[in-house]
C-alpha cells in the first residue's frame, strides 16, 4: 500500500487493533503497526503519542459527550436523570460499534497495565460527570456519589452488552442495569 492512500489514522488503528488481538499488546511494536498499515513510523507518531493511545483516543470525546449531555438535561431533571441522559447519549454513540468494542475489551482484559489505564479513564469520566452535576447546582457529595454510581451502571452495563450476543440495544441494557441498581439499594 502506498503512502497516498487515504485515512492513515483509520488504517493505523485497524492495523494496531488486529496486531494486539493476534499477538498481544506487549508483543506489538509501532514499527509493526506502521508496516501492517503500509505507512511509516513517522506517520504513526503524527497521529498517536504511543501504541497505548490507539486504544484510548476516544476517551476525550466520550467525556465531552457525557458532560454535554448532563449539561443539556432539563433544569428540572434530578441528578441521576441527568446522568441517565448521558448514558442514553453514550448508548447512541456506541450502538453501531459493538464489534470494535468487543475486540477492544478483549485486548484490555488481557493486559493489567491497560486495565489500570481503563480504570483511570472511567474514574476521570466519573469526575467530569460529578463536576458537570455540580455546575447544575447539585451539592458536592451528591454530585460525586451520583456520578460514581452512574459510572458503575455504565461500566457494568457496557461490559454486559459487549459480552452478550442476543442483540439487545445498549440503551436497553443500561436502563436494565440502572433498574438493577435501584433494586440493589432499595
By the criterion CB under 8 A, which residues form the site for a copy of itself?
78-80, 116, 119-120, 123, 141-142, 144-146, 148-149, 152-153, 155-156, 159-160, 177-178, 180-182, 184-186
Identify which of residues 28 and 177 has a Cβ nearer to a copy of itself in the complex.
177
Closest contact distance (angstroms) between CB of 13 and a copy of itself is: 25
- The least distance separating a copy of itself from the CB of residue 140, rounded to whole angstroms, comes to 9
CA distance 173 to 186: 20
Give me the least distance between CB of 119 and a copy of itself, in Å please: 5
Interior CA angle at 85 toward 80 and 90, to 5°?
A: 120
Where in 12-122 does DSSP place strands (E)? none
User: CB-wise, 107 or 122, nearer to a copy of itself?
Assistant: 122
Q: How many other C-beta atoms lie within 10 A of the C-beta of residue 180?
A: 14
Cα 13 versus chain centre, distance: 15
DSSP code of residue 168? -
Are the C-beta atoms of 11 and 33 separated by less than 8 Å?
no
DSSP 95: G
Q: Considering the complex, state which of residue 13 and residue 177 has its C-beta at the smaller distance from a copy of itself.
A: 177
The minimum distance between CB 183 and a copy of itself, in angstroms, equals 8
Q: Which is nearer to a copy of itself, 9 or 155 (CB)?
A: 155
Amino acid at each position: 500500500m502506498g503512502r497516498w492512500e487515504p485515512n492513515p489514522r483509520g488504517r493505523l488503528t485497524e492495523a494496531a487493533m488486529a496486531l494486539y488481538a493476534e499477538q498481544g499488546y506487549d508483543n506489538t511494536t509501532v514499527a509493526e503497526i506502521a508496516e501492517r498499515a503500509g505507512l511509516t513510523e513517522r506517520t504513526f507518531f503524527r497521529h498517536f503519542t504511543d501504541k497505548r493511545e490507539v486504544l484510548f483516543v476516544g476517551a476525550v470525546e466520550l467525556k465531552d459527550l457525557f458532560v454535554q449531555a448532563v449539561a443539556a438535561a432539563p433544569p428540572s431533571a434530578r441528578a441521576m436523570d441527568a446522568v441517565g441522559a448521558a448514558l442514553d447519549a453514550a448508548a447512541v454513540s456506541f450502538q453501531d460499534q459493538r464489534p470494535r468494542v468487543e475486540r477492544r475489551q478483549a485486548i484490555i482484559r488481557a493486559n493489567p497495565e491497560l486495565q489500570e489505564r481503563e480504570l483511570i479513564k472511567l474514574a476521570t469520566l466519573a469526575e467530569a460527570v460529578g463536576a458537570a452535576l455540580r455546575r447544575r447546582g447539585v451539592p458536592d457529595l451528591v454530585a460525586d456519589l451520583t456520578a460514581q454510581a452512574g459510572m458503575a451502571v455504565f461500566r457494568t452495563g457496557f461490559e454486559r452488552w459487549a459480552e452478550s450476543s442476543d442483540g439487545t440495544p445498549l440503551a436497553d441494557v443500561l436502563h436494565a442495569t440502572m433498574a438493577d441498581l435501584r433494586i440493589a439499594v432499595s
